[in-house]
């Protein structure tokens, strides 16, 4: 009888935040459909939140996908904190756990999986983790770093040393002039760097994590980026000269709005019937993603500006949008004032909302998934970056690609500019240019995902390169470290 060959088995660990888990889930499915066995490991806290958000209880999020024949297994790991701990309110403690404690739990669970299955060959872990190279080396696995933001952002972090030497980062009086020495990045203003590279105190816990993670990422065997070659040609070419790097985005579920895997951390409110009654392109969608907080005074100005604009809108207001200890941050009377033309909800299926013909604009924090989804749905953006890569993403959206504009040009948001810019975005006049440009960009994304498109080719190349490296690794590996056996 012919010997049956086991599929190569990959362990996939996403960063425990919504904007990272979503593309990781869909990448895991893509890889499984390319003939890999995947063990996907969520933190217990993410698992708990996702399960609570589901209307029905399934054994795990991949149960339906498995029915279609894909071999995706699922397990959980502790991030070092109690499940019910408020990570949003205590971000420093959460970051500290990910920096100092999480790797011990990952080490244990990966060790158990490796011990029980000798086909494990590879670890895919988010670039923001500080431990992948250590864990991969210990268990003899290939190390794939998964990057969920633009390549431009990766490049800035990767070249932190250059920014320091040139006095643009981590110095007393940082330079404020244009940065023009990062390989593959023509020019970028300091204000457009990720927020952490603009901060003067670089001793914070998040900086410790970033320094360690990007040091570690240099050791990865492969870098997978949720971006598109054509959108970031020069940056990606420069990165490819440093490490094997593959632009395989945008990573969406097959069919875009329909996903067999429930990934939301909050229950989704259904806006379809409400949107069905609205004219084409007449509704503004407002959401600031899953992670960043909006200052209360800005939130109040946004609410007042939306009210003044008379535009219809769907506003996703997460329970912790200002802070999880401020349950009711909206100005008094606002909800009654806008009741006839607004839907205010804690969470929704964003892809379904953006794809609805009634949506004509997106007021966004410029999270990278939101940017890619908005381009896919050809919805122009009004941008209010709040944290992390969102400042750099804003530059791409507004200055480079010209598919949207800024909500505010000052340091603080005012209701007048909110009203003015919302009306400008939704009027259908001034943003006609944006609509044509975004149509072209949608085509670029579609082409990238088509049979001979860049992302599909890059994915095929990655799979081939990974398989080649795996076969090289098939030579016997010393796994004594996993079984705990000692040399006497
Ligand atoms: O009501 C909602 C709101 C959002 N989403 C989805 O949640 C994701 C949000 O991702 P993103 O737009 O990237 O924002 P964040 O959740 O803030 O993501 C974090 O992770 C991203 C990827 O690393 C970064 O670009 C962001 O700056 C960072 O805050 C998207 O897929 C949305 O479709 C929903 O399904 N329903």
Q: What is the pLDDT of residues 318-339, one digit of tens each?
A: 999 999 899 899 999 999 999 9
Asked whether the predicted pLDDT for residue 309 surpasses 80, the reply is yes
- Collapsing DSSP to helix, strand or coil, 269 comes out as strand
Q: Are 397 and 194 in contact (CB under 8 A)?
A: no
Task: Copy the structure tokens of residue 470.
Answer: 């795996």
C-alpha distances in Å from residue 478, one per residue of 10, 136, 139, 470: 18, 13, 9, 15
Q: Are 24 and 126 in contact (CB under 8 A)?
A: yes
Distance 364 CA to ligand 1 centre (A): 10
Question: Which residue's alpha carbon is at the smallest distance from atom 34 of ligand 1?
Answer: 350
Distance 269 CA to ligand 1 centre (A): 16
Q: What is the pTM of this model?
A: 0.95
Q: Nearest to residue 389, comparing CAs of 16, 92, 20?
A: 20
Output the pLDDT for position 406. Answer: 96
Q: Are 317 and 330 in contact (CB under 8 A)?
A: yes
pLDDT confidence tier of residue 431, bands split at 50, 70 and 90? low
pLDDT over 70 for what percent of the chain?
A: 94
Calculate the CA 328 to chain-centre distance: 27
Rounded average pLDDT over 373-379:
98
**DSSP conformation letters of 394-462:** HIIIIIIS-SEEES-SSSS--HHHHHHHHHHHHTSSTTHHHHHHHHHHHHHHHHHHSTTSHHHHHHHHH
- Pocket probe mutation, ligand 1, options 46, 369, 397, max atoms within 8 Å of Cβ: 369
- CA 33 – CA 398 distance, rounded (Å): 36
Output the pLDDT for position 488. Answer: 30
Output the pLDDT for position 313. Answer: 98
Q: Is the interface score ipTM higher than 0.85? A: yes
Q: What is the pLDDT of residues 129-173, one digit of tens each?
A: 999 999 999 999 999 999 999 999 999 999 999 999 999 999 989
Rounded average pLDDT over 187-210:
96
- CA 78 – CA 42 distance, rounded (Å): 9
Q: What is the pLDDT of residues 232-244, one digit of tens each?
A: 999 999 999 999 9
- Which numbered atom of ligand 1 lies nearest the CA of 373? 33
Q: Are 131 and 99 in contact (CB under 8 A)?
A: no
- CA 11 – CA 128 distance, rounded (Å): 16
Asked whether the predicted pLDDT for residue 415 surpasses 70, the reply is yes
Q: Nearest to residue 285, comparing CAs of 298, 262, 269, 266?
A: 269
Output the pLDDT for position 486. Answer: 38
- Measuring from each residue's beta carbon to the nearest atom of ligand 1, which residues come in under 6 Å? 17-20, 22, 148-149, 264, 287, 289-292, 316, 347-351, 367-370, 373, 388-390
Output the pLDDT for position 481. Answer: 53
- CA 190 – CA 249 distance, rounded (Å): 27
Rounded average pLDDT over 29-53:
95
Mean pLDDT for the chain?
93
Output the pLDDT for position 473. Answer: 77
Helix-helix angle 151-158:233-240, to 10 degrees = 50
Rounded average pLDDT over 455-480:
84
Output the pLDDT for position 2. Answer: 40
Q: What is the pLDDT of residues 42-90, one digit of tens each?
A: 999 999 999 888 766 677 899 999 999 999 999 999 999 999 999 999 9
Q: Are 280 and 358 in contact (CB under 8 A)?
A: yes
pLDDT confidence tier of residue 472, bands split at 50, 70 and 90? confident
Task: Copy the structure tokens of residue 193.
Answer: 């760097």
Distance 239 CA to ligand 1 centre (A): 25
Distance 110 CA to ligand 1 centre (A): 28
Write b or e for each residue in 99-127: b if 16 or more Cβ atoms lie within 10 A of its Cβ, otherwise e: beebbebbbebbbebbeeeeebbbbbbbb
Output the pLDDT for position 485. Answer: 41
Q: Are 394 and 192 in contact (CB under 8 A)?
A: yes
C-alpha distances in Å from residue 207, one per residue of 30, 220, 306, 314: 32, 20, 36, 35
Give me Rg for the CA atoms of the chain: 23
Rounded average pLDDT over 456-476:
90
Backbone φ, ψ for residue 245 (5° rounding): -135, 135
Output the pLDDT for position 487. Answer: 37
Write b or e for each residue in 8-31: b if 16 or more Cβ atoms lie within 10 A of its Cβ, otherwise e: bbbbbbbbbbbbbbbbbbbbbbbb
Q: Are 225 and 147 in contact (CB under 8 A)?
A: yes
Q: Are 478 and 140 in contact (CB under 8 A)?
A: yes
Q: What is the pLDDT of residues 82-114, one digit of tens each?
A: 999 999 999 999 999 999 999 999 999 999 999
Task: Copy the structure tokens of residue 370.
Answer: 């939101």
Rounded average pLDDT over 467-487:
64
- CA 310 – CA 319 distance, rounded (Å): 25
Output the pLDDT for position 3. Answer: 39
Distance 49 CA to ligand 1 centre (A): 16
- Pocket probe mutation, ligand 1, options 50, 252, 367, max atoms within 8 Å of Cβ: 367
pLDDT confidence tier of residue 477, bands split at 50, 70 and 90? low
Asked whether the predicted pLDDT for residue 479 surpasses 80, the reply is no
Element (H, E) at 147: strand 142-147
């Amino acid at each position: 009888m012919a010997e049956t060959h086991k599929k190569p088995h990959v362990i996939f660990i996403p960063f425990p935040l919504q904007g990272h888990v979503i593309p990781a889930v869909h990448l895991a499915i893509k890889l499984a459909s390319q003939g890999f066995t995947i063990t996907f490991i969520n933190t217990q806290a993410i698992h708990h939140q996702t399960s609570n958000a589901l209307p029905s209880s399934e054994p795990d999020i991949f149960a339906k996908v498995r029915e279609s024949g894909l071999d995706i297994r699922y397990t959980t790991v502790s991030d070092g904190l109690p499940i019910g701990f408020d990570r949003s309110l205590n971000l420093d403690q959460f970051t500290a756990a990910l920096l100092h404690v999480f790797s011990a739990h990952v080490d244990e669970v990966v060790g158990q999986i490796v011990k029980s299955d000798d086909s494990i060959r590879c670890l895919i872990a988010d670039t923001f983790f500080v431990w992948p190279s250590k864990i991969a080396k210990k268990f003899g696995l290939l190390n794939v770093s998964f990057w969920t933001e633009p390549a431009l952002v990766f490049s800035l972090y990767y070249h932190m040393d250059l920014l320091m030497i040139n006095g643009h980062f981590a110095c007393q009086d940082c330079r404020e002039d244009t940065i023009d020495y990062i390989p593959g990045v023509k020019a970028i203003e300091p204000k457009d760097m990720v927020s952490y590279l603009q901060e003067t105190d670089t001793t914070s816990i998040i900086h410790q994590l970033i320094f360690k993670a990007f040091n570690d990422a240099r050791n990865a065997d492969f870098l997978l980026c949720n971006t598109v070659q054509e959108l970031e040609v020069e940056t990606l070419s420069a990165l490819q000269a440093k490490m094997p790097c593959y632009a395989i985005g945008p990573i969406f579920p097959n069919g875009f709005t329909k996903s067999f895997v429930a990934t939301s951390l909050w229950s989704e409110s259904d806006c379809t019937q409400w949107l069905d009654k609205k004219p084409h392109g007449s509704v503004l969608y407002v959401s600031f993603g899953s992670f960043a907080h909006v200052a209360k005074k800005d939130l109040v100005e946004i609410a007042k500006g939306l009210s003044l604009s008379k535009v219809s809108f769907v506003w996703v207001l997460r329970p912790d949008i200002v802070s999880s200890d401020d349950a009711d941050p909206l100005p008094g009377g606002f909800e009654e004032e806008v009741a006839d033309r607004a839907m205010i909800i804690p969470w929704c299926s964003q892809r379904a909302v953006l794809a609805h013909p009634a949506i004509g604009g997106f007021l966004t924090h410029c999270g990278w998934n939101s940017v890619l989804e908005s381009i896919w749905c050809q919805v122009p953006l009004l941008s209010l970056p709040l944290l992390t890569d969102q400042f750099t993403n804003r530059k791409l959206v507004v200055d480079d690609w010209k598919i949207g504009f800024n909500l505010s040009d000052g340091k603080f948001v005012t209701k007048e500019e909110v009203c003015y810019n919302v009306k400008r975005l939704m009027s259908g006049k001034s943003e006609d240019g944006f609509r044509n440009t975004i149509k072209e960009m949608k085509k670029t994304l579609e082409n990238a995902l088509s049979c001979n498109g860049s992302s599909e080719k890059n994915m095929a190349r990655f799979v081939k390169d990974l398989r080649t490296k795996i076969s090289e690794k098939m030579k016997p590996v010393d796994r004594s470290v996993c079984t705990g056996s000692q040399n006497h």
